[in-house]
Structure 1
Amino acid sequence: MRRTGGILAALGLGAALVVGVAILAPLASLRSDPPATPGGNSSAVGALLSPAPGGGRLSDRVGALQSRLKEGGSESWRLYASLGLAYLGEARASADPSFYVKAAGVLRRSLALNRSDNYEAMLGMGALASARHDFRGGLAWGRRAKEVNPHNSYARGLIGDALFELGRYPDGMAAYQNMVDLRPDLASYARIAYARELTGDVRGAVDAMGLATGVASGSPEDGAWAYYQLGELLFGSGRVGAAERAYRHGAALAPDYPLPPVGLAKIDAARGHPRAAARQVADVVTGYPAPEFAILAGDLFALAGERRKARAQYDLVRATQRLLRANGVETDLEVALFNSDHGLASEWVVMNARSGYAKRPSVQASDALAWTLYTVGRYREARRYSHEALRLGTRNGLFHFHAGMIALRLGDRAGARAHLLKALSINPHFSWIYAPEARRTLQRLTARP
């Protein structure tokens, strides 16, 4: 087995991270069974941690667990915990947050029957809290699970994910180091990849995600998820051809899994076919209505000049945001950034961004707040948060675009030019709506010294 103790040490435990959806899914989206422990329910936790649970398999599991619970017995607490984890899997497989309510009910029932050593339910409650963007709750439940089962690597992952979102990066890095030391697998290697990307080591991130693809043996969907994440890393660094190969590998492993087709659609858009790309993403959204994919479809339709279809996708985003809030998901930051990007800037939007930043002060939140402030004309305050967002050295084209536009409004033409060049050098396709604007702005800056 590979020695993993120094993988994160090379980054330095003082390095900070930013947690986002592009590379690192929360604990609830990563799979492998924890080491067997007395009384442990490895298969149930494995269901929780699967990145791409099959909908049919989960439905069968839910039905079987419900039937067993009707029989009663002294182990009902364990069955309730397993059912809660299965409901969380259903939420991922269907992008339907109403399963969160079901999961909360049975996980609480499990804990009411056994609060002392019920680490499966504790992990479930932590994953549920994080899925709802309650990262303080996720941290508390992760620590409880760690106390009950000190050798469980996934408790460390849950703790680390929450700490990153709360801006507590050194502690989060330590949690991830503990996680990979305990078990080098798909979940921990994916986190290493993300950590390296965040600190600007994209090559190291690609290497780590390559390790993740090598251990993604739980199901074809696991492999497809890992190759999609590898493709995202490559696409984000402007390597379109290599990204396409990764996406195609993922699609071949699990043809019905929704993520690789989205990646391949981005390849089409990058090669000048936004209309075909938009239609492909919209087809995915029909069966898997994740808001980030609906936004992507809308932006691609807008790029192709199909405004009516773009508006339909944006309407779906708003409906999904309402559904998420109705099922306990905190969406202040996401709503603020979406509105700022789509012509709905207002003081209310800024208030949402401030609220989100206060609850999860990551560098992603710093960037979102900076951009919402920019859209209402508060450029000096925006610059403060933009600097905060860039403090890790993350090679993120959108961060640099935001910084460049803020600098331009403050009269810093040299700074604006440097940031815009950086954004486009990192990834010429960093944003379907803003990359063209970055090019036009650079042309004006070059024409008027």
Structure 2
Amino acid sequence: MLRSLTWALALAGAAFAAAPVAAQDGPLRLEITEGVIEPLPYAVPAFVAENAAAQQYAAEISRVVASDLSGTGLFREIPASAHIARVTSFDAPVGYADWKAVNAEALITGAVSVSGDRLTVKFRLYDIYSGQQLGEGLQFAATTASWRRMAHKVADAAYSRITGESGYFDSRVVFVAEAGPKDQRQKRLGVMDYDGANVQYLTDSSTIVLAPRFSPTGDRVLFTTFETGFPRIKLLNVASVTAQLLPETPGTMTFAPRFSPDGRQVVYSLEQGGNTDIWKMDLNTGQSSRLTNTPAIETGPSFSPDGSRIVFESDRSGTQQLYVMSASGGEPTRISFGEGRYGTPVWSPRGDLIAFTKQNQGRFHIGVMRTDGSEERLLTASFLDEGPTWAPNGRVIMFTRESAGAGGEPRLYSVDITGRNLKAVTTEGAASDPAWSPLLP
């Protein structure tokens, strides 16, 4: 049983206000294709502290912005030691020649001020070679506790203006935090910033939990729990951190839940009498309907973004493969035909790709394919890679990678859809079952 999900966690007191701070559109644009090899060079001087209370935050915010952008593999930061110009005032004219001399193509400047527990961040983005500001400057305001979110918002805005795509930095990931020996792992649900910071825990480790899934609005979490001794689906309210079991049919086991795009329904697997099928439940009424009815094992359902179709895994053909059917059920269409076994399919938020886990010749892979099964592309290969989840913009995939041997443990990794920018995600300990949220409000 594998896992993934979507969510948004609103931080108390972190209601953001964004306001334009003026400029014209420039020609700087990074086209993201499989041919992009050379990262775009950019500079992020330390943001200007506009009062003494802001000094602690100014440098930290600019460092998070740089980490976000450089971490994509699409951008290369020019270090401060190479800078000729010094930014001491947010409103000072930009010395384009100085930045051009160090080969910067983009420049991000910012300023930070603090009043009480309120923090304000302003930023501007410049196209060095055209000598223009790119888009309007923006201003974000929130509590000082939310300074990392404001840094992510600045990075998202810069990323979007340069690439033409939406960003993914101001997002969260829910996951299973693991501790203890391999044969006695304790598991609890945790949630963190996309880069591993600001970890919070949603459950304790008194029972096994698997496969967390957030509602599209981030106010609820679905997950599988073994608290009754058998797998059951539980629905957790994020604000109150209270949870309740979903209705069940006696004598059955339920697992692998996922919300519909409108958050009103849950699609999941139900096992009864040794047979596992895909079911759908209306969360308002608790009424369930059966979507598949075969002797095969059918699990891992995931809705398309428009809610019209469901992709799932089934061994009805004799091996574990991927199928797509109408969201109301009916005869499915097989879409995987390569060598090996396919599982844990997840529809991209863009709707154009399906990510999956593939096992072939003793190796595990994270891959993507078109929704009709064409253009299959394997992005990773290792002893055990599994459970992909999509970034909000459909550009990056996070997954679980487990190392071999008696001391092996799961860790989180991410990779872009070209397969190039593979990297570990920082967590405090062993972690599995990541599920990425949409951008936070």
Specify the TM-score bucket, using the shorter chain as the normaliser: under 0.3
Q: Choose between structure 1 and 2: higher strand proportion.
A: 2
TM-score computed with the length of structure 1 as normaliser? 0.27
TM-score computed with the length of structure 2 as normaliser? 0.27
Q: Choose between structure 1 and 2: higher helix proportion.
A: 1
Select the structure of larger CA radius of gyration.
2
Q: Say which structure, 1 or 2, has more relative contact order (CA 8 Å, 6+ apart).
A: 2
